[in-house]
Chain A
Amino acid sequence: DQQVKQNSPSLSVQEGRISILNCDYTNSMFDYFLWYKKYPAEGPTFLISISSIKDKNEDGRFTVFLNKSAKHLSLHIVPSQPGDSAVYFCAAWGGADKLIFGTGTRLQVFP
């Protein structure tokens, strides 16, 4: 069973506008969430994280929102830039030192 789900495999956004990437999880015991960005043929790089004691964390153009009651988090990128085009993975710490990933959303930012 997929405990971390990213239901949108792809997203296309115009440069300068907002990108919203969504993630759902099933286990209410998950207490720390991370977003990673991945370019082709490279490893994932850490982007931003959020603890379950918060509902928002912001870092420059990137903001992550957490809705614990809905078991949902989202990553907002404002303004979107062509260099943001990549695959974005949502991940959650699932206990026993295991980081569980979603299937990823491919973001394309066009001019």
Chain B
Amino acid sequence: DAMVIQNPRYQVTQFGKPVTLSCSQTLNHNVMYWYQQKSSQAPKLLFHYYDKDFNNEADTPDNFQSRRPNTSFCFLDIRSPGLGDAAMYLCAFGGGSGEKLFFGSGTQLSVL
């Protein structure tokens, strides 16, 4: 059974049209991460939560927002997607530093 679930698997949006990606877990882990991965590049950390404490990476564009209403669910909002935001978005949960992360299958975002 999947422990980290991301929806949708594939998302197509238009340039400038807001989009929301979702992620949930059955693991009950406190720490949660959103990564962006473009082809042939390293996954890039956008945000992470330690429980409800939100940590934004310095180079994450303001266009990206996140919400974590409870331990199990988290959302990534892209307010005005640009062509450069087309990527795979990965969420992951874990126990914190030194622990392995459990990833979802990712959402592949296309921007037309």
The contact size tier of chain A is 20 to 34
B42:A103 contact, CB within 8 angstroms:
yes
The contact size tier of chain B is 20 to 34
B97 proximity list for chain A (CB < 8 A): 32, 93, 95-97
A43:B48 contact, CB within 8 angstroms:
no
Indicate which residue in B40, B48, B103 contacts A44 across the interface (CB closer than 8 Å): B103
A44 proximity list for chain B (CB < 8 A): 43, 90, 103
A34 proximity list for chain B (CB < 8 A): 100
CB proximity to A under 8 Å, residues B37-55: 40-43, 45, 48, 50, 55
A103:B41 contact, CB within 8 angstroms:
yes
B98:A93 contact, CB within 8 angstroms:
yes
Q: Known contacts A41-B106, A43-B106, A97-B48: does B98 contact A31 (CB below 8 Å)? A: yes
B101:A99 contact, CB within 8 angstroms:
yes
CB proximity to A under 8 Å, residues B75-103: 90, 92, 94, 96-98, 100-103
Complex Cα spacing A102 to B98, Å: 17
Residue ID in chain B nearest A3 by CB atoms: B42
Complex Cα spacing A69 to B9, Å: 42
A100 proximity list for chain B (CB < 8 A): 42, 45
Q: Mark A81-111, 1 if CB is under 8 A from B, else 0.
A: 0000000010001011111111110000000
A21 within 8 A of B: no
Complex Cα spacing A4 to B9, Å: 28
Complex Cα spacing A43 to B25, Å: 14
**Shortest beta-carbon distance, B54 to chain A, in Å?**
12
A sample of 17 cross-chain residue pairs with beta-carbon separation below 8 angstroms, ordered by A number, consists of: A4-B42, A9-B40, A31-B98, A32-B97, A41-B106, A41-B108, A43-B6, A43-B105, A43-B106, A45-B103, A49-B100, A93-B97, A96-B55, A96-B97, A98-B48, A101-B43, A102-B42
Which A residues fall within an 8 A CB radius of B? 2, 4, 9, 31-32, 34, 36, 41-46, 49, 51, 89, 93, 95-104
